[in-house]
């Protein structure tokens, strides 16, 4: 519990001040502990930052995987699958999800230079991937996907749309109305469902 409190305080410190202005003393103060106690959990500042990035990355990634898979859990028919896809599209549009995606990108740049963070992020990706595969595999075995669409292909398309959808503000050549974007997502979604 103390470790999680430290990681949340450190995540807030990164969000407010960035990595270059990150201060362990502020993290300890926000977590309500001493710096000495903090260092009993983490070897050094770099280790705390790495653990924090993995912690937050895992929250975002597994949280998005949960959002992606929850509507699929009760799917038995193609109509159920269409309804689940509509729910997933709706859920993916919240601004918090875009912020989470941006955090993932920032975390990746740090992780490239830190072995502990890289290993933790890889483990979070594997956890999210296993969760997704567990819930999409039955779609194929139940015959709910369009001919030629495997469960893994379905998951990869939705993974790309779900986790890769970053607001492209100011990119005029890529500008699209929200209604057009949602319509396109529904067309893609329904084309993957068996007739």
Give me the pLDDT at residue 156, please: 87
Three-class DSSP labels, 2-49: HHHHHHHHHHHHHHHHCCCCCCHHHHHHHHCCCHHHHHHHCCCHHHHH
CATH architecture assignment, domain 1-42 = Orthogonal Bundle (1.10)
| 181 vs 142, residue with greater confidence | 142
Q: What is the CA angle 99-14-104, rounded to 5? A: 35
- Render pLDDT for 94-121 as a digit per residue (tens, 0 to 9): 655 555 555 555 555 566 667 877 888 8
Give me the pLDDT at residue 167, please: 46
Sign for the CA dihedral angle at 133, 152, 97, 79 comes to: negative
Model confidence at 60, pLDDT cuts 50, 70, 90, reads confident
Give me the pLDDT at residue 119, please: 84
Query: Is the pLDDT confidence value at 10 over 80?
Result: yes
> Residues of the chain with pLDDT > 90: what percent?
44
Give me the pLDDT at residue 107, please: 57
If you average pLDDT over every residue of the chain, what do you get? 84
State mean pLDDT over 24-38. Answer: 97
Query: Is the pLDDT confidence value at 175 over 80?
Result: no
Other beta carbons within 10 angstroms of residue 90's beta carbon come to: 12
- Render pLDDT for 125-157 as a digit per residue (tens, 0 to 9): 899 889 999 999 999 999 999 999 999 999 888
| 144 vs 186, residue with greater confidence | 144
**Where do we find the tokens 């955090």?**
103
Classify residue 193 by its DSSP letter.
Answer: B
Query: Is the pLDDT confidence value at 58 over 70?
Result: yes
Contact 60, 104 (CB under 8 A): yes
| 14 vs 30, residue with greater confidence | 30
Query: Is the pLDDT confidence value at 54 over 80?
Result: yes
* SS3 call for 171: coil
Q: DSSP characters for 112-149?
A: TT-HHHHHHHHHHHHHHHHHHHHHHHHHHHTT-BPTT-
């Amino acid at each position: 519990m103390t470790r999680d409190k430290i990681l949340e305080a450190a995540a807030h410190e990164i969000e407010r001040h960035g990595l270059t202005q990150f201060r362990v003393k502020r993290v300890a103060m926000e977590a309500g502990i001493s710096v000495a106690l903090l260092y009993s959990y983490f070897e050094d500042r770099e280790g705390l930052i790495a653990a924090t990035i993995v912690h937050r990355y895992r929250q975002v990634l597994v949280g998005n995987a949960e959002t992606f898979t929850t509507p699929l859990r009760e799917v038995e028919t193609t109509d159920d699958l269409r309804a689940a896809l509509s729910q997933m599209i709706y859920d993916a549009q919240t601004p918090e999800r875009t912020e989470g995606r941006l955090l993932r990108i920032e975390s990746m740049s740090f992780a490239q230079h830190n072995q502990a963070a890289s290993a933790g992020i890889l483990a979070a990706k594997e956890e999210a991937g296993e969760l997704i595969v567990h819930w999409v595999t039955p779609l194929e075995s139940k015959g709910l996907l369009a001919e030629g669409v495997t469960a893994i292909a379905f998951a990869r398309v939705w993974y790309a749309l779900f986790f890769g959808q970053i607001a492209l503000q100011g990119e005029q050549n890529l500008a699209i109305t929200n209604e057009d974007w949602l319509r396109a997502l529904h067309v893609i979604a329904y084309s993957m469902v068996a007739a």
